[in-house]
């Protein structure tokens, strides 16, 4: 079976961080989440370790506890220095919209029908860079595949990391073993509306070097 380039490109360019358009009132079938995880584990892992774990949280009290950690994390995050950028920088212009959207999620995180924490076996704190890259590189592709598979099924998710300021507390709530690293926290819900547009990004030509740093084609 050949894969349609158009459909593939549309999926890849319109899988957004969905926050305001998450439909908190519509339940998500556990089977759909399980199917997305089944697809996610087709992603590669370093040394074929397959050390993934996907913790799906639907219990209201646990979601609330995680959302509280997320909010506490946000209190730290907003005190951290942000990069200074020119007024006409694309990222400066996108910032108010992303901030508003993030504030909305902050208040509603616990309402998501499911929160997903993708985890990987191993801890990165004391590892050399090769092993750090291999550890995160063995979970982030799978987590992104989950988001893509979810998007194809009408589910939105937002990639978030702010609860990781309190990773140990989250591990305690969910009984995640000490030797597992949490990589993200994805609120998952059916999205409202039909379409997502490709985002404006820094032109890829400005980010692509051929045969040496700074060299163009
Ligand atoms: C590593 C990483 C961490 C992120 N952490 C958060 C977060 O904690 N909270 C949040 O609202 N969005 C978070 N985001 C989402 C980004 O802010 C988002 O990708 C950006 O706003 C661009 O939006 P788009 O993905 O819809 O194009 C994170 C994204 C990545 C890749």
pLDDT one-digit tens code per residue, 37-56: 999 999 999 999 999 999 99
How many whole angstroms separate alpha carbon 74 and alpha carbon 192? 25
Cα(159) to ligand 1 centroid in Å equals 5
Cα(172) to ligand 1 centroid in Å equals 25
Give the residue, out of 14, 16, 17, 20, with the most ligand 1 atoms within 8 A of its beta carbon, to mutate for a pocket test: 17
- What is the average pLDDT across 79-105? 92
Instruction: Work out the mean pLDDT of the chain and round it to a whole number.
Output: 96
Long-range contacts of 8-12 (CB under 8 A, 24+ apart): 11/148, 11/151, 11/152, 12/148
Q: What is the pLDDT of residue 194?
A: 84
pLDDT for 120 beyond 90:
yes
Q: Which atom of ligand 1 is nearest to the CA of 98?
A: 21
pLDDT interval class at 215 (50, 70, 90): very high
Alpha helices in the chain (DSSP H): 5-13, 30-40, 60-77, 90-108, 129-136, 140-152, 167-174
How many whole angstroms separate alpha carbon 124 and alpha carbon 131? 7
Write out residues with Cβ below 6 Å of ligand 1. Answer: 16-17, 98, 102, 105, 158-162, 199
Q: What is the pLDDT of residue 116?
A: 98
Q: What is the Cβ-side half-sphere exposure of residue 132, based on CA atoms within 13 angstroms?
A: 6
pLDDT digits (tens, 9 = 90+) for 139-166: 999 999 999 999 999 999 999 999 999 9
Ligand 1 atom 13: the closest Cα is on which residue? 160
pLDDT for 5 beyond 90:
yes
Cα(207) to ligand 1 centroid in Å equals 19
Cα(143) to ligand 1 centroid in Å equals 13
pLDDT interval class at 182 (50, 70, 90): very high
């Amino acid at each position: 079976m050949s894969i349609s380039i158009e459909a593939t490109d549309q999926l890849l360019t319109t899988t957004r961080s969905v926050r305001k358009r998450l439909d908190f009132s519509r339940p998500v079938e556990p089977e759909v989440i399980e199917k997305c995880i089944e697809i996610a584990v087709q992603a590669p892992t370093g040394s074929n370790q397959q050390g993934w774990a996907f913790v799906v949280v639907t219990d209201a009290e646990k979601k609330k506890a995680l959302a509280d950690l997320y909010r506490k994390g946000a209190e730290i995050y907003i005190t951290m220095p942000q990069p200074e950028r020119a007024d006409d920088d694309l990222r400066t212009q996108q910032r108010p919209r992303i901030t508003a959207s993030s504030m909305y999620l902050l208040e509603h995180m616990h309402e998501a029908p499911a929160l997903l924490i993708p985890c990987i076996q191993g801890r990165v704190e004391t590892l050399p860079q090769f092993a750090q890259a291999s550890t995160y590189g063995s979970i982030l592709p799978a987590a992104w595949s989950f988001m893509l598979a979810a998007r194809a099924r009408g589910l939105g998710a937002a990639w978030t990391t702010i609860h990781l300021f309190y990773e140990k507390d989250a591990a305690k709530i969910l009984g995640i073993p000490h030797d597992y690293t949490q990589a993200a926290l994805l609120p998952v819900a059916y999205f409202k509306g039909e379409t997502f547009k490709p985002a404006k990004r820094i032109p890829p030509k400005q980010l692509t070097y051929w045969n040496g740093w700074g060299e163009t084609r």
